[in-house]
Structures are given as C-alpha cells and as structure tokens.
Amino acid sequence: MTFTLPTNIENRPAAVIGAGTLGRRIALMLADRGGLVRIYDLSADARDAAKAFVEEQLPRVVETVDGGRPGTVELTDDLAAAVADAWLVVEAVPEKLDLKREIFAELDRVAAPDAILASNSSSYASGDFIDDVAHPERVVNLHFYQPPVMNAADLMSSGRTDPAVLDLLQQVLPPHGIHPFVAHEKSTGFIFNRIWAAIKRECLSVVADGVSTPQDIDAMWKINWGTAFGPFELMDRVGLDVVKDIELHYIAENPALSDKTIKVLDSYLERGELGVKSGKGFYDHGEK
C-alpha cells in the first residue's frame, strides 16, 4: 500500500516518545536546525532531564551542521499532544515487545495521517509489533546509536513500509548530522548492531570465564583500535538494563547462545548499577 508522504516538514514538529538515554539524544539531533521537537514521557524527572541535556548540548551540535541553529524543545505527558501535526514520530521506549506493540497501535490512531512512525528499537524489527497498526506502510525502523558522537543510523522496512518513506528519511536526516544506512533484508540488530552484538557478547563471555576484566579489555581495545572508548564503556553509556534486554532478545531467537552474558550483567543490575545513568556500572561515573 502506498503512503502520502508528509509535506511542509520544515515547519512541522517532530516528536520523540521516551525521554531516556537515546530519546533525549534523538531529540537533540532533530532540534539542531531550528525546528520544534516535543518529548513525551510519563516521568516528569525524565522529561526535565532530557530537556536539560538538549539545552546543554545543542549549542555545540548546531555548529557541526550546515545551517544549524537551536530549535525548541517542548515537554508533555500527553501522547496526543506530543504527536499533534508532527511529520515524524520516533519511538524510544524500553526494549519490550508488548510495550512497543501497544505504543504503535496508539500512535497510528492519534498521529497525523501523513506522519512517519519510526521505531528506535535496538534489535526488534518493526514488523514484529505492527499487528494492531492500520497503516503499516508508514512504520519503519530508524535506529540511532549514540549521537552526537556516533551518528550513523539504521533504516529497515517493516516489510510493508512504502519505499518512499525510506527515500525521504535518507534525504532529510543527513542535514541534521544523522547518516542513515538501509538494511535491505530483515535483520535482527539491523546492520551495525548485529555486528556489535557479536563483539559485545564475546567481551562479556571473556569476563564471565574469568579471563580478563572490563577495564583491561577496554584498555586493550583502545590501544589496538585507537578509539576513545571500549566496549564496556559503551555498554555503560547505553545502560546495562538495555544491554540485557537486547541480549535476551538474541537468546530468545537463538537458544544455542549461552546465558553467561546475562549472569555478568545481572551481577551489576542486582546492585542497581545501570551504567552512566545511575552513576555506576562497569565504571564509577560519579554523581548521576
């Protein structure tokens, strides 16, 4: 089924559903060319923290894009108000399939008829949660990494997405400093995250087997690859609870995978050590 693409997008808001680690970063990148971005979350603390993050980072980010200028961020706990007249709605809720299914059914009901509904899921294909969506041709995976530092993004059809949606996003995202790449076949983890999953899993396995420590693995990684951070530092940035949810998804799809990676993560999660967002994970990050 074809889809009527949104028009006049320069003068319409974008909406981000979820004010967590990735939601606030997505809002930041969508607000770097003077537009309006609405952030929806039921938690007032999360909303306020997201706005503070965007306002702190935005002056630097706008300097990195042509035509960059600070946009406006609005906060709301009303989903319909968040998506009103939005041309793009990006879901960034926790990696729970039932939750995503519920959210997309509601978004399909309340968003503008020409709004693109995108999921920032780290591993779930959008085709897995559009059962109750009446217009699946406008639903797409749009997975961000860790902008404004890691600015690639995955695009993947729901299996019923109008190809024009993919074409439009490939045109409009690069001016915001986001560089999308299309996964041409259905793939758990899309492109880069599928590769990263294998790296992450082996790093956790090396720790689980008592061979090395997160700190030594990161130090070796940075020496050998010349990167600014290692795998465990990146997991701390993502959030160890999110890392666990993603890993459980891979294990559910492939029961042959060992669960020893989960045991390593649980040893931190049981102490409330979620990574950067809690102040401590594999590393001590100081005050939250």
Tell me the pLDDT tens digit for each residue of 30-49: 999 999 999 999 999 999 99
Confidence of residue 286 (pLDDT cuts 50, 70, 90): confident
Tell me the pLDDT tens digit for each residue of 100-131: 999 999 999 999 999 999 999 988 999 999 99
At 68, phi and psi to the nearest 5?
Answer: -70, 140
Q: What are the strands of the beta sheet with 116-119, ordered from one edge?
A: 72-76, 36-40, 14-17, 88-91, 116-119, 139-146, 150-157, 179-182
Tell me the pLDDT tens digit for each residue of 68-100: 999 999 999 999 999 999 999 999 999 899 999
**% of the chain exceeding 90 in pLDDT:** 97
Tokens at residue 262, please?
Answer: 């989960």
Is 1's pLDDT higher than 90?
A: no
Tell me the pLDDT tens digit for each residue of 223-245: 999 999 999 999 999 999 999 99
- Average pLDDT taken over every residue of the chain: 96
Q: Which helix (H) or strand (E) holds 22?
A: helix 21-30
Q: Using alpha carbons only, how large is the chain's radius of gyration in Å?
A: 19
pLDDT at 2: 75
Is 254's pLDDT higher than 90?
A: yes
pLDDT at 153: 98
Is 287's pLDDT higher than 90?
A: no
Residue 119 contacts by C-beta under 8 Å, 6 or more apart in sequence? 90, 91, 100, 104, 126, 129, 139, 140, 141, 142, 143
Tokens at residue 102, please?
Answer: 């519920």
Domains of the chain, CATH where assigned? 9-182 (3.40.50.720), 194-278 (1.10.1040.10)
Start-to-end Cα distance in the chain: 47
pLDDT at 123: 87
Tell me the pLDDT tens digit for each residue of 136-186: 999 999 999 999 999 999 999 999 999 999 999 999 999 999 999 999 999
Confidence of residue 22 (pLDDT cuts 50, 70, 90): very high
Tokens at residue 110, please?
Answer: 């309340």
